[in-house]
Amino acid sequence: MNISLAEQAKKMTIGSEKFTVPMPPTFSNPLEQRAYEKQRLAAGFRVFALHGFDEGLAGHITQRDCIEPETFWVNPIGVHFAHIKASDLVRVDHDGKIVEGNSPINNAAFAIHSRIHIARPEIKAVAHAHTRFGRAFSALGQLLAPISQDACVFYQNHSLFDVFTGVVAELSEGDMIAESLGDNIAVILQNHGLLTVGKSVDAAVANFVMMDSCCQSQLLAQSAGEMKLIEHDIALKTKQANGSELVTWGNFQPQYQVVLAQDSSFLD
Ligand SMILES: [Zn+2]
């Protein structure tokens, strides 16, 4: 059943007839949309920094350009996530040509993200990093189990890419990761890290933060004893509610408020 975002918001809240429920913005001017989306992407890096998802030169978030959708925006190599501004972002086409920006970009970022942007045209953003918990969980070569309502977001909605042949450098490896991802929202890259996608940067980043946290929870639970799993039907129902476009977008908004209050220089 497809219901509008406004109807979803109404179902999830009390008081929506009196007060405004935060909703994803819509744009009539593509240049305004591009400027907004670059700021959200820059904010996504600040949220990654907030969670300690920076690891040297590793990690990238990309946003498909709304005007030229065969190009995408990505972080410049070597800039700490906590310092990235909208004006630092680099736009690259699917052939690897930089069409806007003044910095080189990570080769692995291009090899992985370009192939996912091609394979999943409905997806606007892709997030990937080498995080402490994601990396540890990826070494187990297993999927996240439905052990909480948050983990249900990933129930039958993520995959395991169990091939590690070194740092991703070839487009063919990006194709294999895109194939493993399939129609899901996330893929665990074994012995490597996590990757999530979304219909907005907000959703891709919120999915990533949630997935890393679910990896930590499962590592703790598995270490402590036998896990009780949520039943299949309930897990699916919970995924539909908690993994909806509106909820995943909404999960980013409080984090956005934190980075905005801390340092709004990402807007520049
Ligand atoms: Zn990586």
Model confidence pLDDT, tens digit, residues 128-143: 999 999 999 999 999 9
Which positions of the chain have pLDDT values less than 70?
1-2
- pTM of structure: 0.95
Two tokens, residue 224: 């402590």
**How many angstroms is it from 128 CA to the middle of ligand 1?**
7
Please give the domain boundaries of the chain with CATH numbers for all domains. Answer: 29-260 (3.40.225.10)
**How many angstroms is it from 234 CA to the middle of ligand 1?**
33
**How many angstroms is it from 243 CA to the middle of ligand 1?**
24
**How many angstroms is it from 168 CA to the middle of ligand 1?**
7
**How many angstroms is it from 126 CA to the middle of ligand 1?**
12
How far apart CA 62 and CA 46 sit, in angstroms, is 14
**How many angstroms is it from 194 CA to the middle of ligand 1?**
8
pLDDT of residue 2: 59
Return the sign of the alpha-carbon dihedral for residues 76, 77, 79, 81: positive
Q: Are 203 and 249 in contact (CB under 8 A)?
A: yes
pLDDT of residue 121: 96
Q: Are 192 and 167 in contact (CB under 8 A)?
A: no
DSSP string, 151-209: GGGGTTSEEEE----SS--SHHHHHHHHHHHTTSSEEEETTTEEEEEESSHHHHHHHHH
Two tokens, residue 89: 């972002």
CB atoms within 10 A of CB 77: 14
Q: Are 71 and 115 in contact (CB under 8 A)?
A: no
**How many angstroms is it from 38 CA to the middle of ligand 1?**
22
pLDDT of residue 12: 81
DSSP letter, residue 150: T
**How many angstroms is it from 32 CA to the middle of ligand 1?**
31
**How many angstroms is it from 195 CA to the middle of ligand 1?**
9
**How many angstroms is it from 140 CA to the middle of ligand 1?**
17
Q: Are 24 and 37 in contact (CB under 8 A)?
A: no
What tens digit of pLDDT does each residue of 69-80 get?
A: 999 999 999 999
**How many angstroms is it from 131 CA to the middle of ligand 1?**
10
pLDDT of residue 166: 81
